[in-house]
Structure 1
Amino acid sequence: MAEHDSAEHDSAEHDTYVTANQPYERDTRYIETRITRDAADGYPVEADRYRLVVSYACPWANRTIIVRRLLGLENAISMGVCGPTHDKRSWTFDLDPGGVDPVLGIPRLQDAYFARVPGYEKGITVPAIVDVPTGAVVTNDFPQITIDFETEWVEFHRDGAPQLYPEDLRAEIDEVNKRVYRDVNNGVYRCGFAGSQESYDAAYDQLFAALDWLSERLENQRYLVGDTITEADVRLFTTLARFDPVYHGHFKCNRSKLSEMPVLWAYARDLYQTPGFGDCTNFDHIKSHYYEVHRDINPSGIVPKGPDLTNWNTDHGREKLGGSPFGTGTAPAPL
C-alpha cells in the first residue's frame, strides 16, 4: 500500500482556519474504506456503481480528476462536480440545474456522508467516492483513491493508459511523495494558516528548501521518478498550479513566484500542456475558492484579478531532457 499523505482534505473548512499562537495542523481523519477487486471492505470494483465527487478548486480532488482522465476511467466511474465555494456545512452542487446532483439527487455532499454515518462530525470533504445505489460515501481517503484507481481498476483502464504507479518504482515514488506532501502540498497550508510568526517562518523555510530540492532533482530529468509521468508528478502538479494564483500572495509563500523558479516553472508548464493536466485545471474555480472561502486570512472575500495566466501555454523546452509523458502508452483523447 502507498505511503499515506497523513492529511485530511481541503474541506468545508473544518480544518482550515488560523489558531492564534499555534502552527497549522491538518485533520488526519479519513473514511478509509477501499474499493478493491477482492471486495475486502465490502465494495467491489464495478463499473457504473460509484460516483467520484470533486471540486476543481481543491488540490486533493484535482489529483483524482487528473488520474481518472489519464487512465480513461470516465466510462467506469461517473463524476459529480461541486462549485468552487461552500458554506460551513458542506460542499454543494450549485453548478447543476436546481442545485442538485443529477445522479445522486442531493444538493449537498453532506447528505452522502450522513447516509454513511448519521450525524457525521468530521470534515465533509472532496474528493469523495459515493456508492450510487445506497447514496452513501464509501471513502474520502484521497491518497488511497488515486493509488486504487491505478492498481485496483486496471480492468477498466483505457487502451494505452500510462503506468502511473509501476511496481518497480513504487518505493521511490512513495519516498518522493512523502516529502512533497509534508513540505510542499501541506507546506503551503502551514504557511497560510500559521497562527504565529515562529510557525510561519518554520513552514516558509521548509517549503522553499523543498522547492529548491525539487528544482535540483528536476534540472536534468524530465519527471520526478523515472522517465514518464507517475503519481508523484500528479501530486506535485496540483500544488504548483495553485502557486502563483493563490499561494504566493494569499498564503504568504512569497520568496519567489513559480514563474520565477526556472526549472519548476518549465516542469509545471510541461505537465500543464500534457493532455490530462491543463484540461483538468480550472484557475477561476481555484481563485474563487481560496479567496472567497478563507475569510480568516482574506476577510473581504475579494478575488484578485491577476495574475495573467496565459504564460502557462508558453514553450517549456523540457523535451530535450528525454523521457515521454505516457511511456509506451498514449495520451487520453481530447475532451
Structure 2
Amino acid sequence: MINPRNLNKEATMKTVQHRVYRVWIVAALLLIGIGMGAAGAVLAADYPGKSMLMIAPSKPGSGFDTTMRAVVLALTQEKLVQAPMTVMNMAGSVPGTAQIVLRYSNDPNMIAVMSTTGSLNYATGLSPYYHKDWKPIARLISAYYGIFVRQDSPYKNLGDLIKDLKNNPGGTPLSGGYSDDRLCYGALFSKAGVDITKINYAAFAGGVESAGVVLEGSAKALVSTIDDVMGLLESKQLRLLAVSPGKRMEGPLLKDIPTFREAGVDLEWDNFRYILGGKGMPDYAVKYWQGTLTKMVKTPTWQGMIKKYRWGDSLLVEGIDKFLDEKQVVITDVVKKLGMDKKAKK
C-alpha cells in the first residue's frame, strides 16, 4: 500500500523545487535586464563613438546638400561633435527616402535632412514613405519664397499679377520648380481665389532654370525660394513682388518687399528643413542630437550660415511630430487642388 504521508512529502518537495526554479528564472531575467541596461548606458555614454553618416538625399549643390554641409561645418568648427561626419549624397529625394527607411532604419549612426519635399512626394504618390516612417529629430530652418518678375515687367505688385491670373489664367503663364515651388504657387494663388487648374505652369528642376523662361519672356512670373535666385535679384535681372514669411525679411534688397499677407493674400509659407534619424533610432541617440542641434543653432558659425543663405532660424524640437502631421494635411490639400494627388493619377 502507498503511504499517504510519502505522497505529501513528494508533493511538498516538488512545490519547493518549482519555487526554487522560479526564483532562479526571475534572478536570471533580472541579471539580463541589468546587463542590457548597463550595456545601454555604456552605448549612450560613448555615443556617437564611431563615425556618423550624414545623408543629403539629393545631388551636390541642392538645398538638402547645402543644409547638411552647413550642419557638419557648424558642428565641427564649434567642436560639438568629436566623431567624424561624412556627408553622403543621393540621386534624389524619392530613392533617398527609400534608402533611409529600408537600409538605415535601425542605424543610430545615421541622420539625414528632409523638407517639405518628403510630404509632397507622399501626397502625390511618388513615395510610399513619409515622416511616420522615420524619427523626426528637430526642424532647423525655413527657406522662404518669392514671386519674381523681369525688371521691366508691367506688374508693379502682387495684386496686378493676381488680377491677370483671375481674368486670363491660361494666358498668364508662370514658371517654378516641379516640387516645393509648385506647392507654394498652388497655396498662394488658390488662397487668392484663382482657378489654379487653368494656369499654365512650366516646371523645372530649380529656380535658376525656371528663371530662364521669365527672362526670355515666355512666362510672366517666377515662383522660387529666394536663395535659389538671389544672384539674379542682385544683378537686377529679376524684381520681387512679394515674399512668403510672416514678417518682412532683412537685407537691403529684401527689407522693402511686402509679404504675401501685406500684399493682400492671407498666407505664410515656407520650405521647412529638418533632421531625422531611422525609425529604430534609440532614445539616447535622439536625445543626443536634439541637445546637440539645440546648442548648434546658437553658435556664431551657424548664425553665419543663416545670414549667408537667408534662411529663417526656426528650431523646433518639442512638437515636431504634431507639426509634421499638420503640414502633411495642408500639403495634401494643396496637392489635391493642383490635381497631383494619388487618386487623380489612377
TM-score by structure 1 length? 0.31
User: Which has more strand, going by share of residues?
Assistant: 2
Larger Rg belongs to: 2
User: Which has more helix, going by share of residues?
Assistant: 2
